[in-house]
Amino acid sequence: MKYISFTDEPAINPDHFFMKEALKEAQKALALDEVPIGAVIVHGGRIIGRGHNLTEQLNDVTAHAEMQAFTAAANYTGGKYLKDCTLYVTIEPCVMCAGASYWTQISRIVYGARDEKRGFSQVSDRIIHPKTEVLSDVRSEEAASLMKDFFISKRNKL
C-alpha cells in the first residue's frame, strides 16, 4: 500500500503509527517497573483499547498488556468480539494472550519483536484464529531494545 502526504511531513504507515502508540504503553509499564510491553486495539483508524503490563502492580499473572487492551476494547464496543479490529502489541503475544485473541475473533495482530522463549509461535501458530492475519517485526528494534534494557537493568541490580 502506498501512502501520500499532503504536507512536508513524510507519510507514515498506519501500522507504524499505531505501534508507536503501543510503545508509549510499554513506556508506562516501564515507569511502573513492569516488563515493558504495551498494546493498543484499533477499529476504523481509532484506538478503542489500550493496555500495558500490570502483573506486578495487580499481583496477577494474567494482567498482560494484551489482556488489558482486550478488556478496554470490549468495554468500549459493549461486546466480547473484536472483529474488524487490529491488536498492536510491542512483543509477540504469549500463548495465553494468543488464545484470548482467538476467542475475541480479532481480525489482525501486529507485533513488534519476536519472543523466542514465550511467544505463541514457539508452541503453535494454530493458537491464533484461522481468520486472523498476523504481521510481525513492526518497529521491532524499538520494542526489543526496551525489553533488553529492562532486563539488563534488573540483572545489574542483583
Q: How far apart are CA 135 and CA 83, in angstroms?
A: 17
Q: Is 25 a catalytic residue?
A: no
Q: How far apart are CA 151 and CA 139, in angstroms?
A: 19
Exactly one of 56, 66, 92, 133 is catalytic; name it: 66
Q: Do β-strands 38-43 and 46-52 pair in parallel, antiparallel, or remain unpaired?
A: antiparallel
The answer to whether residues 18 and 45 touch, using CB atoms and an 8 Å cutoff, is no
C-alpha cell at 62: 494474567
**Cβ of 151: how many Cβ atoms within 10 Å?**
12
Query: What single-letter amino acid sits at 130?
Result: P
What's the burial of 104, exposed, middle or buried (CB within 10 Å: 0-12/13-18/19+)? Answer: buried
Three-state SS sequence of 125-137: HHHCCCCCEEECC
- Show which residues are catalytic: 66
